Amino acid sequence: MSQACDLQPAFKNIGDHTFEEFIEMATLFHNYPAPGLLIGGYMVEEARKHMPEGTLYEAISETTWCLPDAIQMLTPCTIGNGWMNVLNLGRYAMSLYDKHTGEGVRVWLDIHKIPKDSEILVWLMKEKPKQEQDSEKLRREIGGYGADILSTTPITIPKPKLIKRSKGKVTPCSSCGEPYPSAHGALCRACQGESPYAGHTTLSMPSNIVFPVPEELKTVPANTALGKNAVHDMTSILPGTSKGAAFKRGDTFGAGDLCRLQQMGKNNVYVTDAEVGNDWVHEDDCANAFATAMCGTGVSTKGEPHEGKVTLIAELDG
Ligand SMILES: [Zn+2]
C-alpha cells in the first residue's frame, strides 16, 4: 500500500540558505521561527541583491517587530554597532543604503501581491486570532512565495541624516553621578524622568552642599557692618541712569560705604564671621547652574552671569 504523497512546494532559498536552514537559524536567534522573521529573511536578501557588490551599507527597519532580527541575522548591520536604525513606523518594510552616498533600496511586503485567499493575508491583516491561524499553511506559503510578495523601490537618505552617531562630550550626571553624553542636557535622561524603573529616584545632593542657609550667616544693620565683607553682589539702581553691582562678594565695607548702603536702601546686610569656603556657592555660579539646566536645543546663554542673573536667548526664530 503506497501512501499518498503531497507534492512538496519548492521552497525558495533565502540567500545561501535553504528555507529549512533559515527556519533553524531563526529558531536559534529569535526563539521561534516567527512568520515575520521568515518573510524578513526574503526581504533582506531581496534588498541585498540591489546593493552593488562591495557597498558598505546601513539598514532601516520600519517596524520593531521581527524584521530587525532578520537584518541582524543576514547583514553586518546590528542595533549595537549603530548600522541599523529601527523605526516604529509600523510598516512591514526595510531598506539598505550606501553609508556614504545614502543611495539604496526599500523593500516592502506588498499587499497587492499577496493572494486574497492566502494565510499570509490572514496573518498580516490579523483577520483571525493567532491561535486560529493555520501556522503550517502560513509557513508553506511564505517559503513558496519567497520574494514574489515583495516590492522594491530606490531610495535616498538625505545627507544630513548620514552623519555618524557620536556621543560627543561625556560628563558625570550631577544627580546620579553616572557618566552620560552632556548633549542630553544638564542631567542624564534617566534623571530627567525617562528611567524605566519603578521608584527609581537617584536624586542625591553632593554632601558639601549645606541647605538651608548656614546658621553663621547673619543679617545686621548696615551701620554695624564696618570692616565686614559682602557675602553677595549688591545692585545699585539709579533710575534712568545706571544699574550695576555697587558691591561685589568679598568687598570690605568701609566707612564711606555705610552711607552708600543706606542710599541703596540697604538698611541691613548679610555678614558672616565664618570662612567663606567651598560650602558656599556664588550666586553667579547658581545662575550658571540654573541656566545650564534650563538651556536645551535652541536655547543658550548670552554672556557671563552677573548679580545672580544670566540671560537666556533663543537661537532660532519662531
Ligand atoms: Zn543621572
Which residues 6+ apart lie within 8 Å of 168 measured at CB? 181, 182, 183
Q: Tell me: the pLDDT tens digits for 300-310? A: 888 888 777 88
* C-alpha of residue 292 to centroid of ligand 1, in Å: 15
* C-alpha of residue 175 to centroid of ligand 1, in Å: 5
Q: Which three cell numbers stand for residue 294?
A: 534650563
* C-alpha of residue 183 to centroid of ligand 1, in Å: 13
Q: Kindly list the distances between the CA atom of residue 96 and the CA atoms of 37, 59, 76, 151, 156, in Å, as whole numbers in the listed order.
A: 17, 4, 11, 14, 10
> Which of 169-178, 199-208, 235-244, 273-282 has the weakest average pLDDT?
199-208
* C-alpha of residue 305 to centroid of ligand 1, in Å: 26
Residue 284: pLDDT band (50, 70, 90) is confident
Q: Which three cell numbers stand for residue 111?
A: 499587499
Q: Which of 116, 113, 149 is nearest to 36 (CA)?
A: 149
* C-alpha of residue 66 to centroid of ligand 1, in Å: 32
Q: Tell me: the pLDDT tens digits for 110-164? A: 999 999 999 999 999 999 998 999 999 999 999 999 999 999 999 999 988 887 7
Check residue 105 and report its DSSP letter. E
- Tell how far CA 300 is from the center of its chain: 20
**Which pLDDT belongs to residue 4?**
47
Q: Tell me: the pLDDT tens digits for 193-245? A: 888 898 765 445 454 544 555 667 778 888 888 888 888 777 777 767 667 77
* C-alpha of residue 170 to centroid of ligand 1, in Å: 12
Pairing between strand 93-98 and 84-86? unpaired
Q: Domains of the chain, with CATH numbers?
A: 19-162 (3.30.1330.130), 179-207+281-314 (no CATH), 221-272 (3.90.105.10)
Asked if the bond preceding 68 is cis, omega within 30° of 0, the reply is: no
Contact between 149 and 114 under an 8 Å Cβ cutoff? The reply is yes
Indicate the average pLDDT of the chain.
86
* C-alpha of residue 188 to centroid of ligand 1, in Å: 4
**Which pLDDT belongs to residue 202?**
47
In 35-44, which positions are buried (b, 16+ CB within 10 angstroms) versus exposed (e)? bbbbbbbbbb
pLDDT mean over 27-52: 97
Residue 32: pLDDT band (50, 70, 90) is very high
Let me know the angle formed at the C-alpha of 291 by 287 and 292, rounded to the nearest 5 degrees: 120
* C-alpha of residue 177 to centroid of ligand 1, in Å: 6
* C-alpha of residue 278 to centroid of ligand 1, in Å: 23
Beta bridge partners of 217: 272
- Residue written as grid cell 529573511: 41
- Residue written as grid cell 569656603: 277
Q: Tell me: the pLDDT tens digits for 98-110? A: 999 999 999 999 9
Contact between 253 and 225 under an 8 Å Cβ cutoff? The reply is yes
**Which pLDDT belongs to residue 140?**
96
* C-alpha of residue 179 to centroid of ligand 1, in Å: 8
* C-alpha of residue 86 to centroid of ligand 1, in Å: 25
* C-alpha of residue 180 to centroid of ligand 1, in Å: 8
DSSP string for 33-96: --HHHHHHHHHHHHHHHTSPTT--EEEEES-SSSHHHHHHHHSS--TTTT-EEE-----SEEEE
Measure the CA–CA gap between 272 and 107, rounded to whole angstroms: 73
* C-alpha of residue 213 to centroid of ligand 1, in Å: 26
Pairing between strand 170-172 and 179-181? antiparallel
Pairing between strand 57-61 and 84-86? parallel
User: Which amino acid is residue 252, in one-letter code?
Assistant: T
* C-alpha of residue 317 to centroid of ligand 1, in Å: 31
User: Which long-range CB contacts under 8 A does 178-181 form with residues at least 24 apart?
Assistant: none
